[in-house]
Amino acid sequence: MKHLAAITAVYSEIATALDAQAAQARDAADAALIERVAQKRQINDSTYFILIWGQLEAEINRVAEWAVRARRSSIRWEDRRAWDAHDPENMWAKFEDRAALVLDRLNVDSDACRRTIRYDGWRNGIAHGATLATGIDVPTVIGDLYQIAGEIRA
């Protein structure tokens, strides 16, 4: 999660340049240009979203792998039997399952696990070219990802 501040700064710079283009297109009442700038904004938002999402995803994978190693090393079989099903060298579990290893799926107050899975689904939608959103407010999402990261437990 260490690159998020730098990512936000670069995102802000490019997004502001696109905001200026959008304002010019609006002032000129140029419908085709307005549409082109809207597409550029959407692509820019999606690109940065995928970049920041990758930071949280990597953190979840890292902590999940660590948790599996630590729990599998227990001498007591009662403690490690469920964890033995996971191979830390080869975490084949789908992302949703890895997220549930480090975020409490039943914590409805924070809803962190569900929010994480929703973001993952959104990333997959972008990757497959299917998104209905006009844009993504990247700084707001970064704030949310920090909150989720604060709830990850090994």
Residues that bind other proteins in the complex, under the rule CB under 8 A: 8, 11-13, 15-16, 19-20, 22-23, 26, 31, 34-35, 42, 45, 49, 118-119, 121-122, 131-144
Q: How far is the CB of 118 from other proteins (least distance, A)?
A: 6
Q: How far is the CB of 134 from other proteins (least distance, A)?
A: 4
Specify whether the CB–CB gap between 98 and 92 falls below 8 A.
no
Q: Mention every residue, 6+ apart, whose C-beta is less than 8 A from residue 154.
A: 63, 66, 67, 70, 102
Q: How far is the CB of 58 from other proteins (least distance, A)?
A: 21
Of 90 and 134, CB closest to other proteins: 134
Q: Mention every residue, 6+ apart, whose C-beta is less than 8 A from residue 12.
A: 139
Count of CB atoms within 10 A of residue 154's CB?
A: 14
Q: Mention every residue, 6+ apart, whose C-beta is less than 8 A from residue 96.
A: 117, 120
Of 3 and 62, CB closest to other proteins: 3
Show the tokens assigned to 112.
């962190």
Of 79 and 137, CB closest to other proteins: 137
- In the block, residue with structure tokens 């959008």: 22
Q: How far is the CB of 92 from other proteins (least distance, A)?
A: 26
Of 88 and 135, CB closest to other proteins: 135
